[in-house]
Structure 1
Amino acid sequence: MEPSDTQPDLETLVCLCEEAGRAILAVREAGFRVDAKEDASPVTAADLAAHEILVAGLAAGSTLPILSEEGREVPWEARREWQRFWLIDPLDGTREFVDGFDDFTVNVALVEAGRPVLGVVHVPASGTSWAGVLGQGAWRWQAGRREPIGVAPRWPPRVLASRAHLDPATRAWISAIPGARLERCGSSVKFCRIAEGRADLYPRFSPTCEWDTAAGQAVLEAAGGVVLAADSLAALRCQQGESLVNGHFIACATPAWRERLAVLRRQAVGESGRHR
């Protein structure tokens, strides 16, 4: 794609994420060392290799700024001026990658006025990709085929939770739903499973960063779902302040369940809406 501020071509972005995914798999095949970042989270050569590929590819096709988990820190004074920018997590689910699971992803999102409006999520281990553009739809790429996807809400819901972060607040919230079926998996795959109709809810009451969620949020919302801040049930937003840490949120197959979610919030965590 030619360098531009205009909306990029999804096929090109999916191919770029696939290239980053192949680099991740090459590192896994060769063996790798696990280092710790300043926040004690793990980082490997696979994270860095994918970062380099994504940044080079996006810079070659767009003049928009790029914010990556593995890139240099950009001060809020500069970031607050960005109306449109790329937000990427070169390897989401590094813990899953390190522990030998396959549900780690490459995440690329386009953020506009604080809202993820385009997202690509790629699973290197399976070769599956999901992408969505707000107002245009969402799709899954698998075995060389592209097909449209959409949410398929069911109640009692099929609930997804993090493999590594199933905390007491999340357990209490899920236990307040009679008949809910729980499945645990890692990374931004959870958003995509809701987007393609295989699940209904993903509550997250432990910390995430904006690059963990933006691409998956874009895919899910393009497919008809919504990602809501857990306290206000307003749409989750990026670029709201200096911190890149998200508040608690609930990814949901349909915005029509807001009232149900409000009732669950009161039942599980009290009228104040604060998680114990």
Structure 2
Amino acid sequence: MPTIEQNQLSALLPEIRRIAEGAGEKIMAIYKRGFKTETKSDDSPVTTADLAANTFIDKELKKLAIQFPILSEESAHLSFAERASWETYWLVDPLDGTKEFINHRDSFTVNIALIHQHTSVLGIVHAPALGLSYFAGKGLGSFKVTGTGIGSTAEPEKIHARHLPEHTVIFVGSRSHTGEDMTNFLDNYQADKGEYDLQSIGSSLKMCMVAEGKADLYPRLWLTSEWDTAASHCIVDEAGGKIVKTDMSPLLYNTKDSLLNPYFFAIGDNSVAWNKYLPKTLSNQAP
């Protein structure tokens, strides 16, 4: 398929919203009754909820009229030689923010993205414990809906990233991952501009905060995987923001063997060159 048309994305969005909400129901049932946690080979945690959501999403995506390959955090990871020819594919994180889930903090999400020609063209981030979803399709805009779930009649509202305020800038960061690079970045900003506000939340909701104008920048100076960012990437783009590497070039998908992202910025106002506040040497860039 050489291009993805807007009418195809429009048709897919309600289906993917349904699938994400269905996965959220599986997750919440386990969240309420208790779950087992194991450690994967990369020392990251995985729960029975991750696996149940992954099974559901995989099964439902395979029922869609148009079929694309599926790459998920909890599925077998193909080598780049096997997936290099994929022009369009699903990129899934069935439970983003597993540490939030394990610690009974509600900011975990279901992330489903459609990648086409190395860019995210459709994305949904569903936060089942918070009862809200963010979604977007290329050329269709970005939206937020609260009160999600079976029988919900909630209407989506269009969201927009904001221009940089005249006063205090809002950064958003991770509860689980900070580190020296982030500390140095914030120190450099403060030395130049003064005060800032730093807010913390789990999962890809950080990028969604940028998309809806509740934060100005998410500097991700810690390793992530491509499924962590793909769904919210489209949401930020369609809200008028941008996701870029630290050299301010676009963050792309499926371009190398490693599925790790380089450091990146989720930016609300594209007029600011945030990389001028980076420390001279970054400690742990991805391959």
TM above 0.5, yes or no, is: yes
Residue 57 (1) aligns with residue 73 (2): no
Partner of 2:136: 132
- Aligned pairs for 1:141-180 (under 5 A) are 141-143=145-147, 144-155=154-165, 156-177=168-189, 178-180=194-196
- Aligned pairs for 1:23-62 (under 5 A) are 23-61=26-64, 62=66
Secondary structure, aligned partner of 1:20: helix
d(CA) in 2 for partners of 1:19, 1:185: 23
AA at the equivalent of 2:73: E
d(CA) in 1 for partners of 2:59, 2:74: 13
d(CA) in 1 for partners of 2:120, 2:269: 17
Number of aligned residues: 265
Deviation at 1:206, TM superposition (A): 1.0
Give identity over the alignment, percent: 35
Partner of 1:77: 81
Partner of 1:262: 275
1:235 to 250, 253, 275: 250
Per-residue CA deviations over 1:183-206 (Å, capped at 9, x if unaligned) read 011100011111111111001111
Partner of 1:181: 197
d(CA) in 2 for partners of 1:11, 1:73: 27
Secondary structure, aligned partner of 1:19: helix
Partner of 1:98: 102
TM-score, normalised relative to structure 1: 0.92
Secondary structure, aligned partner of 1:130: strand
Partner of 2:151: none
Secondary structure, aligned partner of 1:191: helix
d(CA) in 1 for partners of 2:67, 2:80: 20
d(CA) in 1 for partners of 2:32, 2:276: 48
d(CA) in 2 for partners of 1:189, 1:122: 9
The answer to whether the 8 A contact 1:111-1:118 is kept is yes
- CA RMSD across the alignment: 1.6
Per-residue CA deviations over 1:234-259 (Å, capped at 9, x if unaligned) read 0111111000000001111022112x
d(CA) in 2 for partners of 1:124, 1:238: 26
d(CA) in 2 for partners of 1:36, 1:100: 18
Unmatched 5+ stretches in structure 2: 148-153
The answer to whether the 8 A contact 1:84-1:110 is kept is yes
AA at the equivalent of 2:35: F
The answer to whether the 8 A contact 1:18-1:127 is kept is no
d(CA) in 2 for partners of 1:136, 1:194: 18
Deviation at 1:275, TM superposition (A): 4.4
Residue 209 (1) aligns with residue 222 (2): no
Deviation at 1:31, TM superposition (A): 0.7
Per-residue CA deviations over 1:76-123 (Å, capped at 9, x if unaligned) read 111101000000000000011001110000000010111111110000
Residue 121 (1) aligns with residue 121 (2): no
